[in-house]
Structure 1
Amino acid sequence: MSSTTPRFLKLPEASSLSLRDQICEVVSAAIMSDALAYDRPLPSCRELAEQFSVSRNTVFAAYNRLVDLEFLVSRDRSGYFVNPQMALAQKPETDTRSALAEPVPCPVAFPASNLMPVVNPLDWNAYPYPFIYNQIDPDLFPVDGWRECTRQALGRRNLLDWASDSVESDSPRLVQQLRQRLLNTRGIYVEDDEILVTLGSQNALFLLGTIFAKFGKPIALEDPGFFGARNAFRLAGSELVGVPVDGDGLIPAEIPEGCQLIFTTPSHQFPTMVTMSQTRREELLEAAERRDFLIIEDDYEAEMNYVSKSSPSMRSMDRNGRVIYVGSLSKTLSPGIRLGFIVAHRDIIREARVARGVMMRHPPTIVQEIVALFFQLGHYDAHLRNIERRYKKRWHAMNNALSRHLGMLERTESEGGTSFWLTGPEGFDASALARRLRGKGVLIDRGQDYYLNCNDKRSFRLGFAYVPLSKLEQGIKIIADEVWALL
Structure 2
Amino acid sequence: MPRNPRATQWTQLFALPEQPALPLQARLRTAVVRAILEEHLRPGALLPSSRELAALLGLSRNTVTSAYLQLIDEGFLQARARSGVFVARDARPLSAAHAEPLRGRNGQASAPPDWSQRVLRSLLDKPTLSKPDRWRDYPYPFVYGNYDQQLFPTEDFRECCARSLARSHLPHWTPDLETSDVPDLIEQIRTRLLPQRGVFAPKEEILVTMGAQHAYYLLAEALFDERTRVGLEEPGHPHARNSFSLRQPRWVAIDVDEDGLVVDALPAADYLFVTPSHQSPTTAILSLARRQWLLRKAELQDFVIIEDDYEAENLYQGRPMPALKSLDKTGRVIYVGSVSKNLSPALRLGFIVAPRALIKELRVIRHAMVRHPSAFLQHAYALFLSLGHHESHTRRVNQALQERLALVAQALRELLPDFRFRLPSGGASIWVQAPDWVDAPGLSLMARNHGVLIEAGDVFFAKPPYPCPFFRLRLSSIAAAQIPAGIRALGMAVQDLAWACGEKRPAAHRAH
Provide the TM-score with structure 2 as the length reference: 0.86
1:434: which partner in 2?
A: 444
Distance 2:320 2:432 in 1: 23
1:127: which partner in 2?
A: 138
Do the aligned residues in 2 keep the contact of 1:134 with 1:331 (CA within 8 Å)? no
State whether structure 2 residue 293 is matched by structure 1 residue 283: yes
1:94: which partner in 2?
A: 98
Do the aligned residues in 2 keep the contact of 1:168 with 1:361 (CA within 8 Å)? yes
Q: Which structure 2 residues correspond to residues 216-255 of structure 1 after superposition, within 5 A?
A: 216-253=227-264, 255=266
Do the aligned residues in 2 keep the contact of 1:115 with 1:234 (CA within 8 Å)? no
Distance 1:75 1:117 in 2: 59
* 203-212 or 108-117, larger mean C-alpha shift: 108-117
1:100: which partner in 2?
A: none
- 1:447–1:92 Cα change, 3 Å: same
Q: Which structure 2 residues correspond to residues 78-157 of structure 1 after superposition, within 5 A?
A: 78-87=83-92, 89-94=93-98, 107-110=113-116, 113-116=124-127, 118-157=129-168
Shift of 1:385: 1.9
- 1:117–1:63 Cα change, 3 Å: farther
Do the aligned residues in 2 keep the contact of 1:243 with 1:254 (CA within 8 Å)? no
Instruction: Name the SS for the 1:7 alignment partner.
Output: helix
Instruction: Name the SS for the 1:301 alignment partner.
Output: coil
2:79: which partner in 1?
A: 74
1:335: which partner in 2?
A: 345
Shift of 1:119: 2.0
RMSD, matched Cα: 2.7
Distance 1:8 1:357 in 2: 45
- 1:260–1:61 Cα change, 3 Å: farther
- 1:192–1:398 Cα change, 3 Å: same
Shift of 1:6: 7.5
Q: Which structure 2 residues correspond to residues 73-472 of structure 1 after superposition, within 5 A?
A: 73-87=78-92, 89-94=93-98, 107-110=113-116, 113-116=124-127, 118-213=129-224, 216-253=227-264, 255-257=266-268, 259-453=269-463, 456=466, 457-472=468-483
Distance 2:259 2:80 in 1: 74
Shift of 1:480: 1.7
Instruction: Name the SS for the 1:25 alignment partner.
Output: helix
Instruction: Name the SS for the 1:92 alignment partner.
Output: coil
Do the aligned residues in 1 keep the contact of 2:11 with 2:57 (CA within 8 Å)? no
- 1:239–1:469 Cα change, 3 Å: same
- 1:240–1:71 Cα change, 3 Å: farther
State whether structure 2 residue 35 is matched by structure 1 residue 24: no
Distance 1:104 1:470 in 2: 59
Instruction: Please list every run of 5 or more consecutive structure 1 residues that lacks an aligned counterpart in the other structure.
Output: 98-102
Shift of 1:49: 4.5
Distance 1:274 1:193 in 2: 32
1:60: which partner in 2?
A: 65
Distance 1:121 1:62 in 2: 40
Instruction: Please list every run of 5 or more consecutive structure 2 residues that lacks an aligned counterpart in the other structure.
Output: 1-5, 102-108, 499-512
Instruction: Name the SS for the 2:116 alignment partner.
Output: coil
Do the aligned residues in 1 keep the contact of 2:409 with 2:423 (CA within 8 Å)? no
Distance 1:281 1:430 in 2: 32
Distance 2:78 2:227 in 1: 60
Question: How many pairs does the alignment contain?
Answer: 479
Distance 1:96 1:6 in 2: 38
Computing the radius of gyration from Cα coordinates, the structure with the larger value is 2
Counterpart code for 1:94: H
- 1:286–1:424 Cα change, 3 Å: same
Distance 1:391 1:104 in 2: 57
Counterpart code for 1:356: R
Do the aligned residues in 2 keep the contact of 1:329 with 1:335 (CA within 8 Å)? no
Provide the TM-score with structure 1 as the length reference: 0.90
Do the aligned residues in 1 keep the contact of 2:79 with 2:85 (CA within 8 Å)? yes
Distance 2:448 2:16 in 1: 31
Shift of 1:455: 5.4
Deviations 1:264-285 (A, max 9, x none): 1111111111112223222321
Shift of 1:161: 0.4
Instruction: Name the SS for the 2:411 alignment partner.
Output: helix
Distance 1:232 1:116 in 2: 12
